[in-house]
Each structure stands twice: as C-alpha cells, then as structure tokens.
Structure 1
Amino acid sequence: MDEKKKLIVLIGPTAVGKTKLSIELAKNFNGEIISGDSMQIYKGMDIGTAKITPEEMEGIRHHLIDVKEPEESFSTAEFQDLVREKIDEISTRGKMPMIVGGTGLYIQSAIYDYHFTDAPSDPGFRRKLEDEAEEKGLAFLHEKLDRIDPVSASRIHPNNVRRVIRALEIVHCTGKTAAELQSEQSPELLYDTALVGLMMEREQLYRRINLRVDLMLEQGLLEEVQYFYDKGLRECQSIQAIGYKELYDYFEDKVSLDEAIENLKQNSRRYAKRQLTWFRNKMNVEWFDMSESYDAEKKFAEISKFIEGKLKIKANT
C-alpha cells in the first residue's frame, strides 16, 4: 500500500491568529499553504474575507486564493477536488502541504474519504423538480428543501438549482438528508495529518473580532462592498459572505450604517462560535490556546513539537 502523504492542517475561528502562525509554520516545515476558506476563493473580495496580503505571505507560496469570479458558484465537492490536486502537486515538489482556514465542511471533505456521489438517483423525480423550478421559480424549490433539509438549504444558494435538486433527490431516494448520510459514514483520513486547532478565551476572541471589523472599515471595506453592489451582483453565493450581506442591507436602505456594522460584528461572533462547535464535534483536533496571556515563542515551539511528533518529521530550526 502506498504511504500516505503528509499534511498539516491549521484551523480555528475567525480572528484567532491563524494567518500569522501559518507563515511561521510554513517556514519551519518547508510548507506551501492551501486556503481552507470558502470565500477567499473569490477575486476582489479582499478586505471582507481578511485575505492574506502579498507582504504578509513573506514569500510563502499560497494556493486557492483568487481563483473564481464573484458571480461564480463554488461547491464543497469542487473544493475537495482542487485541494487534493494541490496536495499531490505540492508533495511531488518535496514541499509540505498545509491547509489553513476556517470553513469546517470544506476542510473535512478534502482530508477525509467522504463520497458525495454514492447516494442513489431518480431521473424521473429530478425532471419533475426541474419542471417545478421552471414553473414556480427557484425560490419555491429552495423553500421546499428548507422544510425537509434545513442544513443543506442553509449551505446551498437558491440559484444553485442543480445542488438544490440533488439535495431533494437524496432525501427522496434514501429518506435521509445529506448530513445524516455523511454522519453514517466512518471515513478515514486520506493523509498522514497533523490537525492543529487554535482557540482563545471567548471574550478575548469576541473583542478581537470587533476590532477586526473596525480595522476592515478603516481599510476600505465599505468601498469594496459598494463596488460589488454597484456592479449589480445580487443573488450570488459570494455575496452571502459575512461582511457583504450586512452592508448590502445598508446600501438598500434597510438599516443604518451603524446597525449594519453592529450586525456584521454580531454575525462574525456567531460564526466564530459555530466554527468552534463544528471543529470540536466533527474532527479529531489537537487544540492550542492562543489567549493573549500566552508566550508566543513558547506556543510556537509547542505546536511545532506536536507536528514533528505526529508526522515523524524534523522542523528546519
């Protein structure tokens, strides 16, 4: 049997400090970074997704950033394919692949042996749904999905009719939702993986999130979102990202700017909480506390030692 390729995965909630640490780890382990963020894939969405800047990269090569136009859709299965290709390519060049990000479902799908295509299909049922979409509109079909599989509905944009129909078809054929089918699988890790999670005392993390939003606004977040709004981007997957949808409400006079900013902060805090819950429930993660009282050098050494032990490798230092 082929030996599994080695992989470092660095996860954690928004604003916990993944970006800075990932660069230090990449230097230490001769790594290249694959973005594990579902929104950094989009071109031009730089400030709102806290995309790493060329200066912050410090010469470390990054992958899966700026590869889609904002009007394009992007699925978990597509991410899975792209990440696995990149892991192979980076490993072949003798470098250490590192996935860094906070989109739990995406990362999980890439590193575990999940199968999205195993559920049976019913072409007749699919045609019936296609007719319904034609006659009654895409929103009607998405509402139907929301009633029977709210988890899938929350992940799939109403305009992505192919995925909405597939989710409905899975329930029709199996009597179970996609998430229920996935939870029944006992997938194994495809790679020899060091799974590092960063966490932080909640109040401290929430304070950092609020400060990050203020900084984004100083950096020009309002202008960035206004650009997409003026371009006429509306019903796209990309615009559902936190930071964009809240400011769209402001541009559409639904809320004041202060309310939009407060909503953005609140939604970011809630997202961080969901991220932590997801990672704790779904993945076997080694957690490291990054609360501000920690000694940065000591914590970096601790994480590096864990990776060395897990992957049976030696760091550069």
Structure 2
Amino acid sequence: MKKEIIIVAGPTAVGKTKYAIEIAKAMNGEIVSCDSMQLYRFMDIGSAKPTTQEQAEVKHYLVDQIDPREPFSAAEYQKRAKAAIVEIFDKGKTPIVSGGTGLYVNSLLYDMNFSAPPVGNAYREKLEKLAEEQGNEAVYNRLKEVDPKAAERIHVNNLKKMIRAIEVAENTESGIKPFEESFVKTNDYNYTLIGLSRDREELYDRINQRVDLLLEMGLIEEISSLLSMGLTEENISMKGIGYKEIIGYLKGEYDLEHAIYLVKRNTRHYAKRQMTWFRRYEDITWFNISNYPSDEDVIEEIITWLREKR
C-alpha cells in the first residue's frame, strides 16, 4: 500500500498545534510545519511558534529553519517538506502536516511545478519599462492579447503577476491555468485532509485574545530586535501580519492602540481568506470544534475516525 500523510489545516488561532500534537502521539507520527512564518528563526512570538515544551512532546520539522533576512519560496518549502516526509516515513512513522498556509498545503497535495519558463531578463525588463512609461494598463492590454482568461483573473495593479503570465503564455501553448486545472494529485503518497474550524464569533474572539497575549509576551520587543538586525518592512518575512503593523507603530505612523486594532483586524481577515481557500478542497473532512464540549472530545473523535479509516 502507498504510504499516507495526515494534514491538519485550518485558520489561524483555531488550535492546529495542539490537535496536531495529539494526533501525532496517537498515530505514531512526527509533525511537518506548514506555516510560512514559523519557518523563520528569531520570529518566535509573532508567528505563534510551537513552544519548546510542545516541540519536545513531538518532533517538529521546518520550524526555526530559515534566516528571516533570506528569501524563501513555496518551491523551497515543497522541497524541504517532502524531504522531511521521506525522513519520517523512513523511521516507520506517520507524517502529520500542520499549518494554515494554503499554497504550502497545495505544494504537498499536488505535483506543482514551480520552475519558471525559459525567458530572458531582457524581455521582463522591457515589460517593466512599458509599465513605467505608459502605466500598468499597457502591460494589461498585452496580457489580454496573449491570454484573455489570465487577464480576467489578474488585477491590473499586480504588475509582477501580469508579467509572469505574459512570459508563460508566450513560451507555452497552455498559458497559466486556473486553480481547478492547475494541479494533479501527487503520487508520492496518499493523504488524509482534516479541516479544523470554529464558529466565527468564537474564532474571532480567540484571535483577539491571541494578539493581546503576543503583546504581553513581548511582540514589540521581538520586532525591535529584528529591526536592529537590519531587517526592514521590505523583507518578505517582515510582511507577516503582526510584524508589518507594529513596524508602522515603531516608525511613528500611528499609535499603539491603532496598531493593535490593525493586527486584530488583519488577522481576522486572513482567517476568513484561509477558510475560503481550504473549503475549495473537495476531499477535506471538517471538524467544527465549537460543536463539542471540549478539545479532548474533538481529538478523541478525530483519532477514532482516523483509526477506523485505516
């Protein structure tokens, strides 16, 4: 039989870390993080990284791996995560993938090819110059000529994505495919996809409480330390929710109260986008934690369901 991984997905603050740990304990597993922020070193508080104690309970992969000053991509994540999955299989254990970064989940479910088409920098620079001289609309009009369907999906303000779509369209027959047609399920392993959710009011309350807790734990001091290391708001790692808003406060753009409001609001909006993303998966099995008396009851039902499924 083909080997199987278990994926625990869901919005931020839903409780994925706790559930993944308990599932890993019950299923002889080890955890592969699927979170775009927990990868980074020195970013412990703002990323709500698993604690030292939690990581001691079950081995975690892809946590504290990347220097936040270095670029990181979904392609690199896929490579590292699949290597971790193989390592866990080789131990005779079950990989438990846990996280809420949708593109990273996709990279493990589907045979996604992240390689760029063979296009020279000169052509890309020509399109960038066109946008600079005549506006993004000129590039958008070019995209409509070569790939009308992509033009329907890509906003005129997203210059980088428009250029990428033009490059693909002019170097392949198929162009950029929509989400539903872009990915073929991987043959590397089978997977069971678990979705965790909570009623919206409860989830939003948990998000607000988490933000308050992160501030108490020293989020502002953590970000100040990162800035002193030479990081700026231009680094991809510092564009994460919680970091970019506090940077604005530290730069004097608004007061702390408004910064906290922005973190909470943006986190709630992000959670909504995550739910929209994960609901697209037809083979996901959802567990609404709000419908149970306690976390323990949900965990017991999930573990029973997993064992029966096997």
The alignment status of 1:255 with 2:254, answered yes or no, reads: yes
Moved more, 102-111 or 196-205: 102-111
Q: What pairs up with 1:233-272 in 2 under 5 angstroms?
A: 233-234=231-232, 235-272=234-271
Q: What pairs up with 1:21-100 in 2 under 5 angstroms?
A: 21-100=19-98
Is the Cα contact below 8 Å between 1:35 and 1:99 reproduced in 2?
Answer: yes
SS of the residue 1:291 aligns to: helix
Moved more, 254-263 or 296-305: 296-305
Q: Distance in 2 between matches of 1:135 and 1:22?
A: 49
Paired residue total: 295
Moved more, 82-91 or 54-63: 54-63
The alignment status of 1:196 with 2:194, answered yes or no, reads: yes
Is the Cα contact below 8 Å between 1:114 and 1:182 reproduced in 2?
Answer: no
Q: Distance in 1 between matches of 2:228 and 2:2?
A: 48
Aligned-pair CA distance for 1:210? 0.1
Q: Distance in 1 between matches of 2:261 and 2:131?
A: 36
Is the Cα contact below 8 Å between 2:117 and 2:168 reproduced in 1?
Answer: yes
Is the Cα contact below 8 Å between 1:108 and 1:283 reproduced in 2?
Answer: no
Match of 1:185 among 182, 185, 195: 182
Aligned-pair CA distance for 1:46? 0.5
Q: Distance in 2 between matches of 1:225 and 1:13?
A: 23
Q: Distance in 2 between matches of 1:99 and 1:187?
A: 19
SS of the residue 1:33 aligns to: strand
Give the residue type in structure 1 aligned to 2:58.
I
Counterparts in 2 of 1:183 and 1:151: CA distance versus 1, 3 Å = farther
Aligned-pair CA distance for 1:224? 0.5
Aligned partner of 1:224 in structure 2 is 222
Q: Distance in 1 between matches of 2:127 and 2:100?
A: 36
Aligned partner of 1:315 in structure 2 is none
Is the Cα contact below 8 Å between 1:39 and 1:238 reproduced in 2?
Answer: yes
Counterparts in 2 of 1:152 and 1:21: CA distance versus 1, 3 Å = farther
Q: Distance in 1 between matches of 2:259 and 2:19?
A: 31
Q: State the TM-score, normalized to the length of structure 2.
A: 0.84
Aligned partner of 1:128 in structure 2 is 123
Moved more, 288-297 or 71-80: 288-297
Q: Deviations over 1:247-306 (max 9, x none)?
A: 111111111111011000000000000000000014521000111753333321210122
Q: Distance in 1 between matches of 2:2 and 2:301?
A: 24
Q: Distance in 1 between matches of 2:113 and 2:84?
A: 19
SS of the residue 2:225 aligns to: helix
Q: Distance in 2 between matches of 1:97 and 1:165?
A: 37
Moved more, 70-79 or 263-272: 70-79
Q: Distance in 2 between matches of 1:151 and 1:5?
A: 40
Counterparts in 2 of 1:175 and 1:189: CA distance versus 1, 3 Å = closer
Counterparts in 2 of 1:175 and 1:231: CA distance versus 1, 3 Å = farther
Q: What pairs up with 1:139-150 in 2 under 5 angstroms?
A: 150=154
Q: Distance in 2 between matches of 1:287 and 1:135?
A: 47
Q: Distance in 1 between matches of 2:293 and 2:139?
A: 49
Q: Distance in 1 between matches of 2:157 and 2:92?
A: 41
Moved more, 198-207 or 286-295: 286-295
TM-align CA RMSD: 3.0
Q: Distance in 2 between matches of 1:31 and 1:16?
A: 21
Identity of aligned residues (%): 41
Aligned-pair CA distance for 1:57? 2.6
Q: State the TM-score, normalized to the length of structure 1.
A: 0.83
Structure 1 unaligned residues grouped into runs of 5+ = 313-317
Q: Distance in 2 between matches of 1:164 and 1:232?
A: 31
Give the residue type in structure 2 aligned to 1:111.
L
